[in-house]
Amino acid sequence: MENPSQLPPVHVIFSAGRSGSTLISDMLDEHPDVVSVSEFFLGLWTSGIHHRDQPIDAPDFCHILRSGLPTQNLLAHLGISIDENRYPFAKQGVRYGPTDALPFPLLSALPRLSDDPDALFDTIIAAVQKREGEVAGQHIEAVLKVMSSTRSGKIIVERSGGSLANVSRVFNLMPNLKPVVLLRDGLATALSMSKHPAFRHYIIRIILRNKLGHDPYLSGHLEGAQTLPPALRGMLPEMVTPARFHGIKIPIRAFGLSWSSAIRNGQKLLHGSVARIDYEELCEDPDRVLRALTGVLGVDAPTDWLARATAMVQPQNTTIQDLTADDLAELTASCRSGNEILLQTRQTV
Protein backbone atom coordinates (compact mmCIF):
# COMPACT_ATOMS: atom_id res chain seq x y z
CA MET A 1 0.00 0.00 0.00
CA GLU A 2 1.22 3.55 -0.74
CA ASN A 3 1.86 5.92 2.18
CA PRO A 4 -0.12 3.90 4.76
CA SER A 5 0.92 6.38 7.47
CA GLN A 6 -1.38 9.00 5.95
CA LEU A 7 -4.44 7.04 7.05
CA PRO A 8 -5.45 7.46 10.72
CA PRO A 9 -5.71 4.28 12.82
CA VAL A 10 -8.91 2.37 12.00
CA HIS A 11 -11.04 0.95 14.82
CA VAL A 12 -14.10 -1.19 14.08
CA ILE A 13 -17.14 -1.66 16.33
CA PHE A 14 -18.31 -5.24 15.82
CA SER A 15 -21.89 -6.13 16.75
CA ALA A 16 -24.65 -8.57 15.89
CA GLY A 17 -26.96 -5.73 14.88
CA ARG A 18 -29.80 -4.20 16.93
CA SER A 19 -27.30 -3.97 19.77
CA GLY A 20 -26.85 -0.22 20.04
CA SER A 21 -24.25 0.23 17.31
CA THR A 22 -26.22 3.05 15.64
CA LEU A 23 -26.36 4.80 19.02
CA ILE A 24 -22.58 4.42 19.35
CA SER A 25 -22.15 5.95 15.89
CA ASP A 26 -24.41 8.86 16.85
CA MET A 27 -22.30 9.44 19.95
CA LEU A 28 -18.98 9.22 18.11
CA ASP A 29 -20.28 11.54 15.38
CA GLU A 30 -20.09 14.25 18.05
CA HIS A 31 -16.56 13.46 19.21
CA PRO A 32 -13.97 16.01 18.02
CA ASP A 33 -11.17 13.43 17.65
CA VAL A 34 -13.16 10.73 15.84
CA VAL A 35 -14.04 10.24 12.18
CA SER A 36 -17.17 8.12 12.55
CA VAL A 37 -17.88 5.95 9.49
CA SER A 38 -21.11 3.95 9.26
CA GLU A 39 -22.01 0.93 7.16
CA PHE A 40 -19.04 1.26 4.77
CA PHE A 41 -17.58 -2.24 5.12
CA LEU A 42 -21.12 -3.69 4.98
CA GLY A 43 -21.56 -2.12 1.56
CA LEU A 44 -18.24 -3.47 0.34
CA TRP A 45 -18.70 -7.11 1.30
CA THR A 46 -22.33 -7.11 0.16
CA SER A 47 -21.16 -5.78 -3.22
CA GLY A 48 -18.56 -8.49 -3.73
CA ILE A 49 -15.38 -6.96 -2.26
CA HIS A 50 -14.02 -9.77 -0.10
CA HIS A 51 -10.29 -9.06 0.32
CA ARG A 52 -7.98 -6.07 0.24
CA ASP A 53 -5.73 -7.85 -2.31
CA GLN A 54 -8.67 -8.58 -4.61
CA PRO A 55 -7.75 -7.32 -8.11
CA ILE A 56 -10.12 -4.57 -9.24
CA ASP A 57 -9.43 -1.42 -11.22
CA ALA A 58 -10.70 2.06 -10.41
CA PRO A 59 -13.66 2.11 -12.86
CA ASP A 60 -15.00 -1.19 -11.51
CA PHE A 61 -14.55 -0.09 -7.90
CA CYS A 62 -16.37 3.15 -8.67
CA HIS A 63 -19.18 1.06 -10.18
CA ILE A 64 -19.43 -0.81 -6.86
CA LEU A 65 -19.49 2.46 -4.89
CA ARG A 66 -22.37 3.61 -7.09
CA SER A 67 -24.32 0.40 -6.43
CA GLY A 68 -27.04 0.05 -3.82
CA LEU A 69 -27.72 -2.58 -1.18
CA PRO A 70 -30.54 -5.00 -2.10
CA THR A 71 -32.46 -4.81 1.18
CA GLN A 72 -32.13 -1.05 1.61
CA ASN A 73 -33.12 -0.49 -2.03
CA LEU A 74 -36.22 -2.65 -1.63
CA LEU A 75 -37.29 -0.88 1.56
CA ALA A 76 -36.85 2.49 -0.17
CA HIS A 77 -38.91 1.27 -3.12
CA LEU A 78 -41.65 0.16 -0.71
CA GLY A 79 -41.57 3.49 1.11
CA ILE A 80 -40.31 1.92 4.35
CA SER A 81 -37.77 4.09 6.18
CA ILE A 82 -35.23 2.93 8.76
CA ASP A 83 -33.34 5.03 11.28
CA GLU A 84 -29.91 3.94 10.05
CA ASN A 85 -30.41 5.71 6.71
CA ARG A 86 -29.43 9.36 7.09
CA TYR A 87 -29.58 10.70 3.55
CA PRO A 88 -31.33 14.14 3.64
CA PHE A 89 -34.18 13.37 1.25
CA ALA A 90 -36.15 16.45 2.34
CA LYS A 91 -33.30 18.85 1.66
CA GLN A 92 -33.74 20.99 -1.44
CA GLY A 93 -31.40 20.17 -4.30
CA VAL A 94 -30.33 16.65 -3.29
CA ARG A 95 -30.04 14.08 -6.08
CA TYR A 96 -32.21 11.32 -4.69
CA GLY A 97 -35.78 10.94 -3.51
CA PRO A 98 -37.11 8.70 -0.71
CA THR A 99 -37.97 5.81 -3.05
CA ASP A 100 -34.76 5.94 -5.12
CA ALA A 101 -31.98 3.37 -4.95
CA LEU A 102 -28.98 5.11 -3.37
CA PRO A 103 -25.28 4.36 -3.80
CA PHE A 104 -24.52 2.62 -0.53
CA PRO A 105 -22.06 5.23 0.87
CA LEU A 106 -24.89 7.77 0.74
CA LEU A 107 -27.17 5.72 2.97
CA SER A 108 -25.38 6.38 6.25
CA ALA A 109 -21.66 7.05 5.97
CA LEU A 110 -21.51 10.29 4.00
CA PRO A 111 -24.53 12.12 5.49
CA ARG A 112 -22.82 11.79 8.89
CA LEU A 113 -19.66 13.42 7.53
CA SER A 114 -21.01 16.25 5.41
CA ASP A 115 -24.00 18.54 4.96
CA ASP A 116 -23.57 17.90 1.21
CA PRO A 117 -23.16 14.12 0.93
CA ASP A 118 -23.65 14.18 -2.85
CA ALA A 119 -20.62 16.46 -3.28
CA LEU A 120 -18.58 14.31 -0.89
CA PHE A 121 -19.50 11.24 -2.91
CA ASP A 122 -18.26 12.97 -6.07
CA THR A 123 -14.98 13.77 -4.28
CA ILE A 124 -14.59 10.11 -3.32
CA ILE A 125 -15.20 8.93 -6.89
CA ALA A 126 -12.64 11.45 -8.17
CA ALA A 127 -10.07 10.32 -5.57
CA VAL A 128 -10.47 6.66 -6.52
CA GLN A 129 -10.17 7.48 -10.20
CA LYS A 130 -7.10 9.65 -9.63
CA ARG A 131 -5.24 7.03 -7.62
CA GLU A 132 -5.75 4.36 -10.33
CA GLY A 133 -5.29 1.52 -7.86
CA GLU A 134 -5.15 -2.09 -8.93
CA VAL A 135 -6.46 -3.88 -5.83
CA ALA A 136 -9.38 -3.29 -3.49
CA GLY A 137 -7.23 -2.20 -0.56
CA GLN A 138 -5.83 0.77 -2.48
CA HIS A 139 -9.33 1.96 -3.33
CA ILE A 140 -10.56 1.44 0.24
CA GLU A 141 -7.66 3.51 1.53
CA ALA A 142 -8.45 6.28 -0.97
CA VAL A 143 -12.07 6.39 0.20
CA LEU A 144 -11.15 6.42 3.90
CA LYS A 145 -8.64 9.21 3.33
CA VAL A 146 -11.33 11.39 1.79
CA MET A 147 -13.70 10.56 4.64
CA SER A 148 -11.05 11.39 7.24
CA SER A 149 -10.34 14.72 5.52
CA THR A 150 -13.83 15.92 6.49
CA ARG A 151 -12.86 15.94 10.17
CA SER A 152 -9.86 16.81 12.29
CA GLY A 153 -10.15 13.40 13.95
CA LYS A 154 -7.16 11.39 15.11
CA ILE A 155 -8.82 8.02 14.47
CA ILE A 156 -11.42 6.40 12.21
CA VAL A 157 -14.15 4.31 13.85
CA GLU A 158 -16.15 2.18 11.41
CA ARG A 159 -19.43 0.57 12.39
CA SER A 160 -21.49 -1.79 10.24
CA GLY A 161 -24.61 -3.42 11.64
CA GLY A 162 -24.26 -7.19 11.82
CA SER A 163 -20.48 -7.10 11.40
CA LEU A 164 -19.93 -9.68 14.16
CA ALA A 165 -21.34 -12.28 11.77
CA ASN A 166 -18.72 -11.20 9.22
CA VAL A 167 -15.55 -10.86 11.30
CA SER A 168 -13.31 -12.63 8.79
CA ARG A 169 -14.65 -10.52 5.92
CA VAL A 170 -13.94 -7.28 7.76
CA PHE A 171 -10.40 -8.34 8.71
CA ASN A 172 -9.79 -9.37 5.10
CA LEU A 173 -10.63 -5.82 4.09
CA MET A 174 -8.63 -4.10 6.86
CA PRO A 175 -6.17 -6.53 8.53
CA ASN A 176 -4.63 -3.91 10.82
CA LEU A 177 -7.92 -2.71 12.30
CA LYS A 178 -8.36 -2.40 16.05
CA PRO A 179 -11.55 -4.19 17.13
CA VAL A 180 -14.12 -3.40 19.81
CA VAL A 181 -17.13 -5.66 20.38
CA LEU A 182 -20.58 -4.33 21.29
CA LEU A 183 -23.02 -6.87 22.75
CA ARG A 184 -26.59 -6.95 23.96
CA ASP A 185 -28.71 -9.61 25.65
CA GLY A 186 -29.64 -12.24 23.07
CA LEU A 187 -33.40 -12.27 23.69
CA ALA A 188 -33.62 -8.48 23.55
CA THR A 189 -31.50 -8.34 20.40
CA ALA A 190 -33.48 -11.02 18.58
CA LEU A 191 -36.80 -9.45 19.55
CA SER A 192 -35.57 -6.09 18.25
CA MET A 193 -34.46 -7.75 15.01
CA SER A 194 -37.93 -9.24 14.57
CA LYS A 195 -39.44 -5.74 14.52
CA HIS A 196 -36.84 -4.07 12.29
CA PRO A 197 -37.64 -3.96 8.54
CA ALA A 198 -34.05 -4.52 7.35
CA PHE A 199 -33.44 -7.50 9.62
CA ARG A 200 -36.81 -8.96 8.72
CA HIS A 201 -35.84 -8.76 5.07
CA TYR A 202 -32.40 -10.27 5.74
CA ILE A 203 -34.13 -13.28 7.31
CA ILE A 204 -36.55 -13.51 4.38
CA ARG A 205 -33.59 -13.56 2.00
CA ILE A 206 -31.94 -16.34 4.02
CA ILE A 207 -35.16 -18.39 3.86
CA LEU A 208 -35.43 -17.78 0.10
CA ARG A 209 -31.79 -18.77 -0.42
CA ASN A 210 -32.30 -21.98 1.55
CA LYS A 211 -35.40 -22.82 -0.47
CA LEU A 212 -34.11 -21.83 -3.92
CA GLY A 213 -30.39 -22.43 -3.64
CA HIS A 214 -29.74 -18.77 -4.50
CA ASP A 215 -30.64 -15.30 -3.29
CA PRO A 216 -32.99 -13.79 -5.90
CA TYR A 217 -32.01 -10.31 -4.69
CA LEU A 218 -28.43 -11.01 -5.80
CA SER A 219 -28.71 -13.65 -8.51
CA GLY A 220 -31.00 -11.62 -10.78
CA HIS A 221 -33.18 -14.62 -11.63
CA LEU A 222 -36.18 -16.43 -10.15
CA GLU A 223 -35.28 -20.03 -10.87
CA GLY A 224 -37.30 -22.37 -8.66
CA ALA A 225 -39.81 -19.69 -7.64
CA GLN A 226 -42.75 -21.87 -8.66
CA THR A 227 -41.90 -24.26 -5.81
CA LEU A 228 -42.32 -21.61 -3.12
CA PRO A 229 -45.44 -21.37 -0.94
CA PRO A 230 -47.58 -18.30 -1.76
CA ALA A 231 -46.40 -16.17 1.18
CA LEU A 232 -42.74 -16.63 0.25
CA ARG A 233 -43.43 -16.16 -3.45
CA GLY A 234 -44.85 -12.78 -2.48
CA MET A 235 -41.41 -11.82 -1.12
CA LEU A 236 -39.69 -12.15 -4.51
CA PRO A 237 -38.23 -8.92 -5.94
CA GLU A 238 -40.90 -8.51 -8.60
CA MET A 239 -43.82 -9.38 -6.33
CA VAL A 240 -43.27 -7.90 -2.87
CA THR A 241 -45.58 -5.08 -1.76
CA PRO A 242 -45.73 -3.15 1.52
CA ALA A 243 -48.79 -5.12 2.61
CA ARG A 244 -47.14 -8.46 1.82
CA PHE A 245 -43.90 -7.46 3.51
CA HIS A 246 -45.58 -6.29 6.71
CA GLY A 247 -47.96 -9.25 6.70
CA ILE A 248 -45.59 -12.19 6.34
CA LYS A 249 -45.15 -14.30 9.47
CA ILE A 250 -41.54 -15.08 10.36
CA PRO A 251 -40.93 -17.56 13.22
CA ILE A 252 -39.39 -15.76 16.19
CA ARG A 253 -36.75 -18.48 16.45
CA ALA A 254 -35.28 -17.34 13.12
CA PHE A 255 -34.08 -14.14 14.75
CA GLY A 256 -32.68 -15.94 17.79
CA LEU A 257 -30.82 -18.36 15.53
CA SER A 258 -29.47 -15.43 13.51
CA TRP A 259 -28.16 -13.79 16.69
CA SER A 260 -26.60 -17.03 17.93
CA SER A 261 -24.96 -17.53 14.54
CA ALA A 262 -23.42 -14.05 14.73
CA ILE A 263 -22.05 -14.79 18.20
CA ARG A 264 -20.52 -18.07 16.98
CA ASN A 265 -18.94 -16.30 14.02
CA GLY A 266 -17.52 -13.71 16.40
CA GLN A 267 -15.90 -16.21 18.76
CA LYS A 268 -12.49 -15.32 17.35
CA LEU A 269 -12.87 -11.91 19.00
CA LEU A 270 -14.86 -12.96 22.05
CA HIS A 271 -12.25 -15.49 23.19
CA GLY A 272 -9.45 -12.94 22.79
CA SER A 273 -8.54 -9.87 24.78
CA VAL A 274 -10.67 -7.53 22.65
CA ALA A 275 -12.45 -4.72 24.50
CA ARG A 276 -16.14 -5.44 24.91
CA ILE A 277 -19.02 -3.02 25.50
CA ASP A 278 -22.22 -4.22 27.11
CA TYR A 279 -25.26 -2.36 25.75
CA GLU A 280 -27.19 -2.75 28.99
CA GLU A 281 -24.28 -1.25 30.94
CA LEU A 282 -24.05 1.59 28.41
CA CYS A 283 -27.69 2.42 29.06
CA GLU A 284 -27.34 2.14 32.85
CA ASP A 285 -24.09 4.07 33.24
CA PRO A 286 -23.21 5.80 29.94
CA ASP A 287 -20.64 8.14 31.50
CA ARG A 288 -18.51 5.27 32.83
CA VAL A 289 -18.81 3.13 29.69
CA LEU A 290 -18.05 6.02 27.34
CA ARG A 291 -14.98 7.02 29.36
CA ALA A 292 -13.79 3.42 29.15
CA LEU A 293 -14.53 3.27 25.40
CA THR A 294 -12.62 6.45 24.63
CA GLY A 295 -9.73 5.05 26.67
CA VAL A 296 -9.70 1.96 24.47
CA LEU A 297 -9.86 4.13 21.34
CA GLY A 298 -7.00 6.28 22.60
CA VAL A 299 -8.84 9.60 22.65
CA ASP A 300 -9.96 11.94 25.42
CA ALA A 301 -13.50 12.19 26.76
CA PRO A 302 -14.26 15.94 26.77
CA THR A 303 -16.90 16.97 29.30
CA ASP A 304 -19.11 18.68 26.72
CA TRP A 305 -18.99 15.62 24.47
CA LEU A 306 -19.89 13.30 27.35
CA ALA A 307 -22.88 15.49 28.17
CA ARG A 308 -24.16 15.35 24.58
CA ALA A 309 -23.47 11.63 24.21
CA THR A 310 -25.06 10.52 27.49
CA ALA A 311 -28.17 12.57 26.67
CA MET A 312 -28.70 10.33 23.63
CA VAL A 313 -29.39 7.25 25.77
CA GLN A 314 -33.07 6.35 25.88
CA PRO A 315 -34.86 3.98 28.29
CA GLN A 316 -34.78 0.38 27.11
CA ASN A 317 -38.06 -1.16 26.02
CA THR A 318 -37.78 -4.73 24.74
CA THR A 319 -41.44 -5.82 25.31
CA ILE A 320 -40.24 -9.36 26.03
CA GLN A 321 -43.03 -9.53 28.57
CA ASP A 322 -45.54 -9.28 25.70
CA LEU A 323 -44.39 -12.57 24.14
CA THR A 324 -46.56 -15.64 24.52
CA ALA A 325 -45.14 -18.45 26.64
CA ASP A 326 -44.53 -20.54 23.51
CA ASP A 327 -42.74 -17.71 21.68
CA LEU A 328 -40.61 -16.93 24.73
CA ALA A 329 -39.62 -20.59 25.05
CA GLU A 330 -38.82 -20.73 21.33
CA LEU A 331 -36.77 -17.54 21.45
CA THR A 332 -34.91 -18.64 24.58
CA ALA A 333 -34.00 -21.98 22.99
CA SER A 334 -32.79 -20.33 19.79
CA CYS A 335 -30.53 -17.94 21.74
CA ARG A 336 -29.10 -20.60 24.04
CA SER A 337 -25.93 -21.42 22.09
CA GLY A 338 -25.05 -17.73 21.72
CA ASN A 339 -25.68 -17.00 25.40
CA GLU A 340 -23.48 -19.94 26.43
CA ILE A 341 -20.59 -18.46 24.44
CA LEU A 342 -21.08 -15.06 26.06
CA LEU A 343 -21.09 -16.56 29.54
CA GLN A 344 -17.80 -18.33 28.78
CA THR A 345 -16.13 -15.20 27.47
CA ARG A 346 -17.59 -12.39 29.56
CA GLN A 347 -15.26 -9.38 29.75
CA THR A 348 -16.38 -5.77 29.35
CA VAL A 349 -14.67 -2.39 29.33
* Residue 159 DSSP label: E
pLDDT at 268: 86
Asked if residue 86 is part of any domain, the answer here is: yes
- Candidates 131, 113, 145; CA nearest to 62 is 131
pLDDT at 349: 63
Reported for 106-109, long-range contacts at CB under 8 A and 24+ positions apart, including other chains, are 107/39, 107/43, 107/69, 107/72, 108/25, 108/38, 108/39, 108/84, 109/37, 109/38, 109/39, 109/40, 109/43, 109/147
How many domains does the structure of the chain reveal? 1
Asked if residue 348 is part of any domain, the answer here is: no
Asked if residue 19 is part of any domain, the answer here is: yes
Which residues make beta-bridge pairs with 316? Answer: none
User: What is the distance between the alpha carbons of residues 15 and 18, in angstroms, rounded to a whole number?
Assistant: 8
Asked if residue 80 is part of any domain, the answer here is: yes
Q: Residue 320: phi, psi to the nearest 5?
A: -60, -30
* Residue 142 DSSP label: H
pLDDT at 4: 44
Asked if residue 337 is part of any domain, the answer here is: no
Give the CATH number of the domain where residue 171 resides: 3.40.50.300
Asked if residue 161 is part of any domain, the answer here is: yes
Asked if residue 204 is part of any domain, the answer here is: no
Read off the pLDDT of residues 307-349 as tens digits, 9 standing for 90 and up.
999 999 987 776 788 899 999 999 999 999 999 999 888 766 6
Q: Which domain holds residue 291?
A: 8-186+258-310
Asked if residue 326 is part of any domain, the answer here is: no
Point out the residues of the chain with pLDDT beneath 50.
1-5
